Amino acid sequence: MNKTQQKTTIVRVLFRGAMVMLGAIIAAYGLESVLIPNKVSDGGVTGLSIVGSQLFGFPLGLLIAILNIPFVFLGYKQIGKSFALYSVLGIATLAVSTSMMHHVPTIIHGDTLLVTVVGGIILGFGMGLALRNGGALDGIDMLAVLLSRRMPFGTSDLILFLNVFVFAIVSTVFGLQGAFLSAIAYYIATKVISIVEEGLSGSKMYKIITSEPEEMVETIRDRLGRSSTFSNVQGAYSNEQFKEITCIINRLEDSKMKEIILEIDPKAFVTVYEVAEVRGGNFSKRNIH
């Protein structure tokens, strides 16, 4: 690796670390200025830390740091060194930030709907920013990844299952209403995390089997500025040979793509997939004007 590459790597590592820290600070602000003063909690390890802080009077930041230690070790073993290091940085920043922001003014009072929405958005944005840059602010996701490898359940199912117990514990401190509001805020936060990680526009992959493949590809290129690829496929029952078109677009182009398919071949067989990330190739749009 030459000096230029080394400098680029160092800058990238520092930038990602700064973004993880910024995400932790934003998440801490959401907790201390919106959720906790209104008796609404987070899920996961942070939620357990909030309960412990309310019950026993321990500093929230201290509990966040201590309870996440085994999960950071788990992340190191299961995901990798860099993920564990970024997570340590994020969790430490979250712990310190919650302590420093413990007396910040509460920006919303009483309105339960507004509290859950705004609190969930702020918290989710902070956690999503950390995850996008390679770190985690809560260890329960790491536990779910490990359990999913040993049990016949998906990671998302296990995260939901584990958080049911967390919110049951939350109800002992904030009451049943507080537990339900916490679950709503956590749900909103998870959706915001997805948006931050994948971007607002996101991407979709279209796979199209049509009797007019050449015309379809040309029309997509002319009207959307998107290139496509062909794959040869064969019907299992009819043994007929077809050309399958694969094209990746962003969400804003979704309705236009459907119009093109309907216009060229209303009987085309179409499957659509969500795409989390696209790199390389010719994904960038061509000029269609």
Average pLDDT (3-27) is 90
Query: Of the ranges 8-12, 230-234, 278-282, 284-288, which one carries the lowest mean pLDDT score?
Result: 284-288
Question: Which amino acid, 2?
Answer: N
Q: Are 123 and 52 in contact (CB under 8 A)?
A: no
Give per-residue pLDDT as tens, 124-133.
999 989 988 8
Query: Of the ranges 128-137, 139-148, 178-187, 252-261, which one carries the lowest mean pLDDT score?
Result: 139-148
Is pLDDT at 213 greater than 50 in this prediction?
Answer: yes
Determine whether 232 is exposed, middle or buried from the number of CB atoms within 10 Å of its CB (0-12, 13-18, 19+): exposed
More confident: 99 or 143 = 99
- Cα torsion for 181, 176, 165, 93, to the nearest 10°? 50
Q: How confident is the model at residue 94 (pLDDT cuts 50, 70, 90)?
A: very high
Is pLDDT at 108 greater than 50 in this prediction?
Answer: yes
- Sequence-ordered list of residues with C-beta below 8 angstroms from that of 79, at least 6 positions apart, any chain: 142, 145
Q: Within the chain, which residue ranges are assigned CATH 3.30.70.120?
A: 203-275
More confident: 83 or 268 = 268
The pLDDT assigned to 208 comes to: 96
More confident: 259 or 150 = 259
Cα separations in angstroms, 255 against 118, 159, 204, 288: 30, 33, 12, 17
| Nearest Cα to Cα of residue 219 among 251, 246, 257 | 257
* CATH architecture of structural domain 203-275: 2-Layer Sandwich (3.30)
The pLDDT assigned to 201 comes to: 56
Q: CB atoms < 10 A from the CB of 285, how many?
A: 13
Give per-residue pLDDT as tens, 53-73.
999 889 999 999 999 998 888
Average pLDDT (116-136) is 91
Q: Give the C-alpha separation, 23 to 16, whole Å.
A: 10
Is pLDDT at 289 greater than 50 in this prediction?
Answer: no
Share of the chain above pLDDT 70, in %: 90
What's the chain's average pLDDT? 86
Q: How confident is the model at residue 221 (pLDDT cuts 50, 70, 90)?
A: very high
Phi first, then psi: what are they for 208, rounded to 5°?
-125, 125
Is pLDDT at 19 greater than 90 in this prediction?
Answer: yes
Determine whether 131 is exposed, middle or buried from the number of CB atoms within 10 Å of its CB (0-12, 13-18, 19+): buried
Average pLDDT (208-232) is 92
Is pLDDT at 7 greater than 50 in this prediction?
Answer: yes
The pLDDT assigned to 225 comes to: 87
**231 three-class SS:** strand
Q: How confident is the model at residue 280 (pLDDT cuts 50, 70, 90)?
A: low
Strand order through the sheet with 241-250: 229-234, 241-250, 203-209, 269-275
Give per-residue pLDDT as tens, 146-163.
676 677 776 556 777 888
Q: Give the C-alpha separation, 268 to 247, whole Å.
A: 14
